[in-house]
Amino acid sequence: MRNIELKENERLDELQRNGYRIIQNPDKFCFGMDAVLLSGFVRAKKGDTLLDMGTGTGIIPILLEAKTECAHLIGLEIQPESADMARRSVALNGLSDKIEIITGDIKEADNIFPSASFDCITCNPPYMIGQHGLTNPQEPKAIARHEILCTLEDVISRAAKLLKPGGNFFLVHRPFRLAEIMTTMSKYKLEPKRMQLVFPYVDKEPNMVLLEASRGGRPRMTVEKPLIVYKSPGVYMPDIYDIYGY
């Protein structure tokens, strides 16, 4: 572990993987369970190159470096402060030779990177449409949660351009937008291959959906068994403990 200077209001959080830690600022935005569940859903092969679009503080590349045998991982993040935290977290964990953080816009991703250059692309995008009820659309939490700087179609269309033929796109989103997600993937020739619904409790409606799509894949999708988060308030189901690494 390297010594990295923390800035005002920043803290270090343990990730329960390889002793890794991450720098976060709770006043700006902290990663949630959706990012962790996406990292558990990703299937990457040894030697793969992976891009995480909208990486925030770098949580997904850092977790995937611990969980997979990817050769190189890149996080793309538009907000300079978040990208700076991500770079310092990467350096803190001694991963600068494996993980690269680039400050840039998802909408410009096809200009930043060569076409068909990634085996895998991941994204935990903003879920909410528009800016209804937002008092400050430039606030980092608003940008992370609402489609202010990029839309679902921006994410899917750029992923389709940047994936190698047969490459895989992994997404976490909200079930209420599932029809839109599927039709947009189809428009850009990303064929849905796996889906898993996430339920907070066994008797509640799902509040997340995990999806894998293949560039140019054949039509056939596997729906995996539901992922239930809590057995009782504050007590995770065994599958969740496994994903977190507790």
Q: What residue segments make up the domains of the chain, in order of their start?
A: 11-244
- pLDDT digits over 75-120, tens only? 999 999 999 999 999 999 999 999 999 999 999 999 999 999 999 9
Number of other residues whose CB lies within 10 A of the CB of residue 20: 22
Sign of CA dihedral 50, 129, 148, 135: negative
Select the more confidently predicted residue: 190 or 140.
190
Query: Is the confidence at residue 128, as pLDDT, over 80?
Result: no
> Which alpha helices (H) appear in the chain, and where do they start and end?
33-41, 59-67, 80-92, 109-112, 140-145, 152-162, 178-187, 238-244
Contact of 177 with 200, CB cutoff 8 Å: no
Buried b (16+ CB within 10 A) or exposed e, 136-159: eeebbebbbebbbbbbbebbbbbb
Strand, coil or helix: what is 29? Answer: strand
Lowest mean pLDDT among 70-74, 145-149, 198-202, 232-236: 145-149
Would you state the pLDDT for residue 27?
86
Strand, coil or helix: what is 73? Answer: strand
For 65, counting Cβ atoms within 10 Å of its Cβ (0-12 exposed, 13-18 middle, 19+ buried), the class is buried
- Confidence class of residue 148 from pLDDT cuts 50, 70 and 90? low
- pLDDT digits over 29-70, tens only? 888 899 999 999 999 999 999 999 999 999 999 999 999 999
Q: Tell me what the pLDDT averaged over the chain comes to.
A: 91
- One of 3.30.479.30, 3.40.50.1220, 3.30.1330.60, 3.40.50.150 is the CATH number of 11-244, namely 3.40.50.150
Q: For the whole prediction, is pTM greater than 0.85?
A: yes
CA–CA separation, 35 and 190 (whole Å): 21
Interhelix angle for 33-41 vs 59-67, to 10°? 40
- What CA dihedral angle connects 76, 198, 229 and 24, to 10 degrees? 20
Q: Which residue is associated with the tokens 């066994």?
A: 202
